[in-house]
Amino acid sequence: MATSLRCFLRSGKQAVLVVARRGIHRSPPAALQCQETSRRYINVTVRDALNQAMDEELERDERVFLLGEEVAQYDGAYKVSRGLWKKYGDKRIIDTPISEMGFAGIAVGAAMAGLRPICEFMTFNFSMQAIDQVINSAAKTYYMSAGLQPVPIVFRGPNGASAGVAAQHSQCFAAWYAHCPGLKVVSPWNSEDAKGLLKSAIRDDNPVVFLENELLYGVPFEMSEESQSKDFTVPIGKAKIERPGSHITLVSHSRYVGHCLDAAAVLAKEGIDCEVINLRTIRPLDVECIESSVMKTNHLVTVEGGWPQFGVGAEICARIMEGSAFNYLDSPVTRVTGVDIPMPYAKILEEHSLPQVKDIIFSVKKTLNV
């Protein structure tokens, strides 16, 4: 209540109706993890954070440009690029025809020739049309040319399940892209992640796959003042401990970080102290953060929206097993994943095909044997 009042008084433009959203999560910046200071926080939706990031990078570097379907005059299919075309014009914000393979290839070619494109896929499901350009033309080129040809490109767009969009529009591609060397794969959760990571991705000289989440676009998060600065970036390859704990580690990325924090809040009342890690980057995976956390808590649960086979959780399990943290585990690692089926349409079926807070609580209790 107090929070919403503060928001309302602070900035009318960015104030969000408390009723409409699912809940604000406080996320202090990594530097101030231990204690809150009296810094000013502004509520920013993930959509606006992404918009700000692109705006600032377009302004900072002449070579950056955005191309994709409906990014210019339509203001973006999900309005993420709202206002950019008006500000930067046709040269830098380019509407493409519906030709993913074609325009992804054009974006990669432009990156090879020295520009820094941001290639937007309307959802990552459509990136499958263009996946050859992402993997064979973008990811592998620097290696194949033995360092002669870098490809500084960002592929971004919503990934994973949305609401009621059924099987062909709901797949999570984190595991697919994270499988390939030469790519960096990033999956932000809150506004600060979104803005900082997108800026890092655009400034990175390598191909980056930036997996957003459509359901998070409208969710406001508090952003600290320093994250408002034009040079604020979040390093790629570093996970963040969102909530420190001692009994069990929950590792997640994107939307399910929020679910983990909710579960942690519920479990805290029962005396189980969960440590929640927000991966932020899927490739390269920050294994040290997970390992040091596991060495502290001795239990691990991974949570993701994608399918279980060969997924992010599977990779984390394998890495923990191969590393020194294995000796600290008091029980096997548990993976909480989406159900191994194509996404159904009916609401009740859809809800039950994705991890819910109760599934996480159940898995935690099972892992801790309580």
The nearer residue to another protein, 115 or 266, going by C-beta atoms, is 115
Q: How far is CA 209 from the centre of its chain?
A: 10
x/- contact string, 303-332, with another protein (CB under 8 A)? Answer: -------------------xx---------
In the chain, which residue ranges form alpha helices assigned H by DSSP?
Answer: 2-10, 46-60, 84-88, 100-112, 131-132, 141-144, 174-178, 191-203, 256-269, 287-297, 312-322, 347-352, 357-368
> 43 near 221, Cβ under 8 Å?
yes
Q: Which of 47, 156, 184, 247 binds another protein (CB under 8 A)?
A: 184
As a residue count, the chain comes to: 370
- Stretch 86-145 residues interacting with another protein (CB under 8 A): 91, 94, 96-97, 99, 101-115, 132-133, 136-137, 141-145
Longest dimension (CA), the chain: 60
- Ramachandran bin of 76, using left for φ above 0, alpha for ψ from -120 to 50, beta for the remaining angles: left
Compute the distance between CA of residue 116 and CA of residue 92 in angstroms, rounded to an integer: 11
Compute the distance between CA of residue 354 and CA of residue 370 in angstroms, rounded to an integer: 24
> Does 212 participate in catalysis according to the annotation?
no
Q: Is 146 in the site for another protein (CB under 8 A)?
A: yes
Compute the distance between CA of residue 205 and CA of residue 151 in angstroms, rounded to an integer: 7
Nearest to 241 by CA among 186, 313, 296: 296
The nearer residue to another protein, 234 or 343, going by C-beta atoms, is 234
The nearer residue to another protein, 96 or 252, going by C-beta atoms, is 96
> How many DSSP H helices and E strands does the chain contain?
13, 14
The nearer residue to another protein, 14 or 129, going by C-beta atoms, is 129
The nearer residue to another protein, 107 or 361, going by C-beta atoms, is 107
Helix, strand, coil distribution of the chain in percent, nearest 5 = 40, 15, 45
Which of 56, 57, 69, 100 is labelled catalytic? 100
> 116 near 86, Cβ under 8 Å?
no
**How many residues sit close enough to another protein to count as binding (CB under 8 A)?**
44
Q: Residue 216 belongs to what H/E stretch?
A: none
- Stretch 228-287 residues interacting with another protein (CB under 8 A): 284
> 78 near 71, Cβ under 8 Å?
no
> Does 100 participate in catalysis according to the annotation?
yes
The nearer residue to another protein, 154 or 219, going by C-beta atoms, is 154
The answer for residues whose C-beta is within 8 angstroms of residue 187's C-beta and 6 or more apart is 159, 174, 211, 253, 254, 279, 280, 281, 282
The structure tokens listed for 128 are 């499958």
The nearer residue to another protein, 59 or 322, going by C-beta atoms, is 322
Residues in the site for another protein, rule: CB under 8 A? Answer: 65, 91, 94, 96-97, 99, 101-115, 132-133, 136-137, 141-150, 152, 181-182, 184, 205-206, 284, 322-323
**What residues act catalytically?**
100, 169
